[in-house]
Amino acid sequence: MNTDNKRKSAFWLHPEIKKIIMKQYKNDNCASQSEFVEKAITFYSGFINTQNTGEFLPKTLSSIITGIVQTSEDRIARVTFKLAVEICMMMHVLAELNNLPDDYLHRLRGKCVKEVKKSIGTVSLDKAVRNHEEFNRESGE
């Protein structure tokens, strides 16, 4: 903006706002309070003019955030896959060691779904053994 075209304007400000301007204009490396107010108005006008605040964020910031989220998703997917492989191996070992009837497995699955929901996914071996003993007593096994 050309400084030759500037015109003096009078605005009414609350004393708290005036204190903010006086305190912050130097922190923003502005030469004057007027420059700080101009920058603030330009910034806020740009914010208002965008329909989507996502469009207001600089593209670099948006791409950095997208990259961080993508990296996190990739890590979670890899760990989940490895965990699923280990669980699958454990299931095959257990199946090899035990010959369990289908109705028992069906009831056990229902019990386990309830247990995991109740515990928000944190199940310890000790608790599972206690619960399984209780399950077997209830089932008459």
Return the domain boundaries, the chain: 13-56, 58-99, 101-141
Amino acid identity for residue 94 in this structure = L
Model confidence at 104, pLDDT cuts 50, 70, 90, reads confident
> Is the separation of the CB atoms in 57 and 49 below 8 Å?
no
Model pLDDT for residues 61-98, shown as the tens digit of each residue = 778 888 899 999 999 999 999 988 888 888 888 887 88
H helical segments located in the chain? 15-24, 33-49, 53-56, 59-97, 102-119, 125-139
pTM value is: 0.41
Q: Is pLDDT at 44 greater than 60 in this prediction?
A: yes
> Residue 11 — φ and ψ, nearest 5°?
-130, 145
Q: Is pLDDT at 124 greater than 90 in this prediction?
A: no
